[in-house]
Amino acid sequence: METFRREAREWLEANCPLSMRTRMIPGEEINGGNKRRSSHPDACLWLERMATRGWTAPTWPVEFGGGGLGKAEFLILLEEMQRINARPPLGGMGITMIGPTLLEYGTEEQKQRHLPPIVRGEIAWCQGYSEPGAGSDLASLQTRAEDQGDHYLVNGSKIWTSGAQHADWIFCLVRTDTKAPKHEGISFLLFSMDSPGVTVKPITLLNGESPFCQTFFDNVQVPKRDLVFRENQGWTVAKRLLQHERSGLAALASADTAGPLDRIKPSTSLGELAKQYAGSATITDQALRHDIVANEMKKRAYLLTQARAVAENEANTPGAATSIFKFVEAEYVKEQLEIQNRIRGTQAFGWEGDAFSEEELRMCRLNLEAKSISIAGGSNEIQLNIIAKRVLGLPD
């Protein structure tokens, strides 16, 4: 292992641009595809170099473009990247969600066709799960896929489709048997976003951004070779993918990314921030002191849970820790921002103007965005149900 560590360290030192050894900034990340490129000129170079080694997907098999690393080697690579503060070369749903799912459920042909382009960052993926009438109760979805012999004909719509306007392909849950119990009549399809009949409409949020879309399907033809696993058994695939999604969040959060935990951090500690805004060398508000300490303890627990989820993900066995991680993250982010708001007072709610610092303006927008963390990827209530049933073994 020491030989691999030495070789990895030397390679990273020689190939990671200095500009890629800084904290990730929103807009500079690469999630694959060509419809939205990183705003940083060295990001593509870093991706190309890492993809050549298969290190954009270090533990994936070499035959599918991955690095073929074992768990011990992967952890060493991660440590060496963290040592020089190297950014992850590639993110997005291809690497964290559909790729690991295809490794487990895809046919050999599907793996050969889809995985290498994901590793190289050539294809961006989006997720077709939620519908206007099927959110937390996802199995109530109504998008239909009719059997037409050699292909399916898909009609319906999906909502809150993250990054659909930039995606090349979609993995989509559809109903293939309307008479079966709702969990048993669902199939898992893959198809191009450029297919005739696909329409994407971005949804503008309160903060003016449009990270989500509503996606419409009007007689979209999907070849049967892009059915993952078996017809009417897509719910099994869907649940597994959600585990990869949640554990993928942990893996991203463990690196220096622009993820929820990293983005809500103030420029200094909460304690120092409180002293700064109070204009005092000490924190006299006892309740605030208590909450700051409690939040720091929750952060320590979060990081330990995160490490478990990352280990499960890399072993391709995401389990209960993934739901625990998702819930703890949402609660931690909410409490962190609430404490920052208490410290800053009215300065926490500046939208524009010279009366507010750059960090205050940034945090105001993050306050709006952070409300979605307890919903995205499965609401907190859903996570608690999963923990109750799968971890604690409680009855329905």
Q: Say if residues 55 and 74 touch (Cβ distance below 8 Å).
A: no
Q: State whether residue 77 is helix, strand or coil.
A: helix
Tell me whether residue 163 is exposed, middle or buried, using C-beta atoms within 10 angstroms of its C-beta: 0 to 12, 13 to 18, 19 or more.
buried
What does residue 182 show for φ and ψ, rounded to 5 degrees?
A: -55, -30
C-alpha to C-alpha distance for 122 and 34, rounded to whole angstroms? 7
How far is the CA of 177 from the CAs of 142, 159, 191, in angstroms? Answer: 10, 22, 19
Closest by CA position to 291, among listed 343, 225, 252, 242: 343
* H and E: helices and strands count for the chain: 13, 8
C-alpha to C-alpha distance for 293 and 240, rounded to whole angstroms? 36
What does residue 46 show for φ and ψ, rounded to 5 degrees?
A: -65, -40
C-alpha to C-alpha distance for 329 and 136, rounded to whole angstroms? 19
Report which residue type is found at 99. Answer: G
Length of the chain counted residue by residue: 396
Does 245 qualify as catalytic in the annotation? Answer: yes
Q: Say if residues 91 and 30 touch (Cβ distance below 8 Å).
A: yes
Q: How far does the chain reach from its first CA to its final CA, in angstroms? A: 47
C-alpha to C-alpha distance for 116 and 122, rounded to whole angstroms? 9
Pick the catalytic residue from 80, 131, 245, 312: 245
Which positions are catalytic? 245
